[in-house]
Structure 1
Amino acid sequence: MATSAEYRLGPNAYPRGWFIVAEASELDKGAIPVSFFGQDFALYRGESGRVVMLDAYCTHMGTHIAASSSAMIVQEHNNLEGDSIRCPYHGWRFTAEGEVDDIPHIQGECPKVKGLKSYPVREVMGCVMVWWDPEGGEPLFEPPYLPEWDKSNWVQWELDHLGQLPLHGQEIIDNMADASHLGPTHGAPCEWFENEWRDHIYIQRQGGFHVLYDCMLTTTTWYTGPGLLLSKQQFGDVLTYELIANTPVAEGVSQVWHGCLSPAAGDSVTEADKATAKEIQAGALTAFSADFEIWKHKKAATRVMQMNSDGPFMKGRKWFGQFYCEKEKIAEIQQALNGTAQTSYLPLPDAKARELDAGLFD
């Protein structure tokens, strides 16, 4: 489990960006404890529907404000008031902004005491996404969104929770430049391949005959920031979107989620459509699991023995480094990288293949 410093990514241990920290349905039964970026947090949905993430430990006596299920205040569902949360130990109340606004038994006004840090949260496509910035700044871009998610003729994903992977996110990102693994690992050798960088977005376009499905596979895949991958995929006549999300838990450890968004056969979703969508997601997970197994058992590649037939690994790693550097250096890195790159032994996608991009990056 190599560290960010060993990959020479920048001064920060964890990258700046949007990350999944839970599936939205996990908050249906109250506040939950979560751990990411080497820290512990409290995550809950307020009565208004707002999702809140705060630092975990009460500033009074260090109690985790979301880790108790047996405290009476939790059992009676009195720990959440409006969009605020009460500590299960002494009942201190923290607002969604992390401020202490009520302390039981205090005589007079509530004193101004140290509160908890609150983090920017978005609920997008059934996922709870949090903006993490080691410098504590506000979001520099928004998380990705697929309009198909809210259309009545698309089957929404229920995420596969794949647990923790003993691997740094850098090695997951490396796949974006890696045309050569698609044949040996996935049975889908490339017939064309291209990478492109647009500021905080990293794009891969590729296509080839897929042995397992006995048809052509064309994909446009992109990262929005360092932890959220979406892939638009055309298998013959079948279209689907795949999500792969990786969030740092600790240095060299990532938590991973997976899902597929698939169209219905008609104007509305039927049980048959749901069954087909589950089959598509299971098939995509089988393909992804081949990567997952290799990652789980590989040695950290803090240095790549670059061949002239390899894809642009080094450029991809420089792109990844923008999320670890000081904020004032981001624009310079993006300006130097923006553009496209070709893998030497493969042609670029033609106009027909590029049609899959329609509407994705407008």
Structure 2
Amino acid sequence: MGTMNLKMLLESKELERCPFPIPVGWFHVDFSENLKVGEIRNVQLFGQEWVLFRTESGKPGMSDPYCPHLGAHMGHGGKVCGEHLRCPFHHWEYDTSGWCKSIPYAKVMPPVVKKQAILRTLPMVEKYGMLWAWYHPQCEPPGFELPYIPEIEDATGYAGARRGSWTANTCIQEIAENGVDTAHLKFLHGAPGIPPVDASYDGPIMKLDIGKGYIVGTAYGPGLNVMRFNQHGITATMISYSVPISLEKTQMNMSFRHVDYAEGTPELHASKKVIDHMIGAAEGEESAGFESVDFVVWNNKKYRPNPLLCDGDGPVLQFRKWFKQFYPGQEDSTKI
């Protein structure tokens, strides 16, 4: 017997559940209809609290809670005044970009307010009937744009109001890694086989082809994934938009859409069955949906930075290398 690899046997003691910061990207905050004009709400996302508001003209804003003046929490007693968020303490006002626009009693504004934003705010866009925020730990501007998704942007041609939301007690990278780990589909979900997976990477975009065209997906950073399931002559679409609540908690959100086939057609029946199958709700199905089985794994696993992989595994290491770009300053870290 040769020398034993003790490092491998003892590494488990050193493992962490979620050894990553909040990643950079566009993330879903809420559905547009849920934020009314003039409304202010405190939300917990990206490892901290934020003040979410909508100006009188309808522009969404999301800011750090604490006023740069004396630290009052603007989500408790603050007010939307026109296009500004007003602090309850001394009525300093800020726009959605974090620039101080009014100090009602100041004869001379502090010089810094003419030079830069003094309140941290997140860039926001409204798209797909949703509010999206760009998160970057060093406040850098958006590095890519959200894509056109016909299934949820076109006025006609698509149907399906089904959507779901689940909370997983793990970091967003662990959930995203499922996309390339096709071997678990057979063993955890009970799928009949292990489909081959091809992954290609282009900047913040990852393209997946699972089962040679069976499932074709595109990820746009960590916060948006569009998966098209091509079966029975139809295509059904799962739009996934997970968001990190904290370092160890992720809100998974999904919308399901299909072509607007006429009532009673076999295509409509097939489309609905494929969507049922995506979440493991189809009658007579042998395989289990992620809701019933993945959470048992996610909520209890630890992250192995040096996984022992075999020839049947998907491109896990390539995926981790791609994902690393969303952790600025972590490029030299060994934790991929």
Q: TM over 0.5: same fold?
A: yes
The letter for the 2-side match of 1:312 is P
> Does the 8 A contact of 2:19 with 2:303 survive in 1?
no
Correspondence list, 1:161-176, <5 A: 161-163=165-167, 165-176=168-179
> Does the 8 A contact of 1:87 with 1:93 survive in 2?
yes
1:158–1:59: structure 2 CA closer, same or farther, 3 Å change rule?
A: farther
- d(CA) in 1 for partners of 2:299 and 2:214? 27
> Does the 8 A contact of 2:215 with 2:230 survive in 1?
yes
Correspondence list, 1:48-63, <5 A: 48-63=57-72
- d(CA) in 2 for partners of 1:86 and 1:275? 52
Partner in structure 1 of residue 29 of structure 2: 21
- d(CA) in 1 for partners of 2:184 and 2:34? 35
> Does the 8 A contact of 1:259 with 1:281 survive in 2?
no
> Does the 8 A contact of 2:243 with 2:251 survive in 1?
yes
- Deviation per CA, 1:115-168: give whole Å up to 9, x if none: 3122211212122221112232111111233023232232264642323x2212
Partner in structure 1 of residue 278 of structure 2: 284
Correspondence list, 1:264-279, <5 A: 264-266=260-262
1:281–1:41: structure 2 CA closer, same or farther, 3 Å change rule?
A: farther
Tell me whether 153-162 or 94-103 shows the greater mean CA deviation: 153-162
**Which consecutive residues of structure 1, in runs of 5 or more, have no partner in the other structure?**
6-12, 74-78, 209-216, 331-362
What is the deviation of 1:33? 1.4
- Deviation per CA, 1:52-75: give whole Å up to 9, x if none: 111121223323222x3xx5x7xx
- d(CA) in 2 for partners of 1:247 and 1:277? 27
Of the three residues 12, 21, 41, the one matched with 1:32 is 41
What is the deviation of 1:306? 1.0
What is the deviation of 1:111? 5.6
> Does the 8 A contact of 2:27 with 2:223 survive in 1?
yes
Seq. identity, %: 27
The letter for the 1-side match of 2:210 is Q
The letter for the 2-side match of 1:46 is T
Tell me whether 182-191 or 169-178 shows the greater mean CA deviation: 182-191
1:236 aligns with 2:232: yes
- d(CA) in 1 for partners of 2:72 and 2:159? 41
- The SS at the match of 2:134 is strand
What is the deviation of 1:110? 5.8
Partner in structure 2 of residue 93 of structure 1: 93
Partner in structure 1 of residue 284 of structure 2: none
The letter for the 2-side match of 1:285 is I
What is the deviation of 1:324? 1.1
Partner in structure 1 of residue 315 of structure 2: 312
**Matched positions, count:** 299
The letter for the 2-side match of 1:95 is D
What is the deviation of 1:318? 0.7
> Does the 8 A contact of 1:34 with 1:40 survive in 2?
yes
1:102 aligns with 2:106: no
> Does the 8 A contact of 2:161 with 2:255 survive in 1?
yes
TM-score, length-normalised on structure 1?
0.72
Correspondence list, 1:45-194, <5 A: 45-66=54-75, 68=76, 71=77, 79-104=79-104, 106=105, 108=107, 115-151=118-154, 152-155=156-159, 157=161, 159-163=163-167, 165-186=168-189, 187=191, 189-194=193-198
1:225–1:60: structure 2 CA closer, same or farther, 3 Å change rule?
A: same
- d(CA) in 2 for partners of 1:189 and 1:258? 25
- d(CA) in 2 for partners of 1:111 and 1:24? 35
Partner in structure 1 of residue 6 of structure 2: none
> Does the 8 A contact of 1:171 with 1:301 survive in 2?
no
- Deviation per CA, 1:82-123: give whole Å up to 9, x if none: 32222244433221222222345x164666668312221121
> Does the 8 A contact of 1:23 with 1:159 survive in 2?
no
- d(CA) in 2 for partners of 1:230 and 1:241? 7
What is the deviation of 1:277? 8.3
- d(CA) in 1 for partners of 2:148 and 2:202? 17
Q: After TM superposition, which residue ranges in structure 1, 4 or more long, deviate above 6 angstroms?
A: 273-280
- Deviation per CA, 1:158-213: give whole Å up to 9, x if none: 642323x22122211221221211122332534443122122111221139xxxxx
